[in-house]
Amino acid sequence: MDWLQIAVLYGLTILVVRTLCSRSTPSTAARLHAIRPRRRRRPEPAARPIEQLVKDLRRLAPRFHHPVRGTSRTKIEATRYAYDHALGEAAKALGIEHLLGVLEPGPELDLERTRVETTLWLAGLRVDEPA
């Protein structure tokens, strides 16, 4: 064997040994991850508290049912959307089925809104009472 063949054989041996050793030991990042204490995230609440929903409903109900004269159509529609969204959240929190986010604006939505308001009132959620 001449010196070139010995050098190539030696180089291949070192390469094989390094490859085998690097696979059996965890990397530095894996070792640091195992050592570092893990921070636990607090679970996000599934929905807003019912008190906050009632507060929003009591704020939005008069604006929706009795808008101030001269209020723009855009503002009335935005208030309707916000009121329907808050009603839907409250209904979901109490386990009441609703179609407020599904129906288009019109008489069917008005009837559904009235039904949900009545069902919430029967469930004990009083929107018309001051806070």
**Each residue's pLDDT tens digit in the chain (131 positions)?**
687 788 877 777 877 777 766 655 556 556 656 666 666 777 776 778 889 999 999 999 999 999 999 999 999 999 999 999 999 999 999 999 999 989 999 999 999 999 999 999 999 988 876 65
Angstrom CA distances, 102 to 32, 99, 105, 111, 117, stand at 50, 5, 10, 13, 16
Q: Given this model, what pLDDT does residue 27 score? A: 61
How high is the pLDDT of residue 80? 95
What's the CA gap between 121 and 67, in Å, rounded?
Answer: 22
Residue with tokens 């008069």: 62
Nearest Cα residue to 86 out of 108, 111, 64: 64
pTM: 0.64
pLDDT at res. 36: 62
Q: What is the pLDDT of residue 113?
A: 94
Would you say the C-alpha torsion 73, 78, 80, 81 has a positive or negative sign? positive
pLDDT score recorded for residue 15: 74
| Residue 73, pLDDT score | 94
Tell me what percent of the chain is helix, strand and coil, each rounded to the nearest 5.
Answer: 65, 0, 35
Half-sphere CA count of 5, side-chain side, radius 13 A: 2
- Cβ(54)–Cβ(28) below 8 Å: no
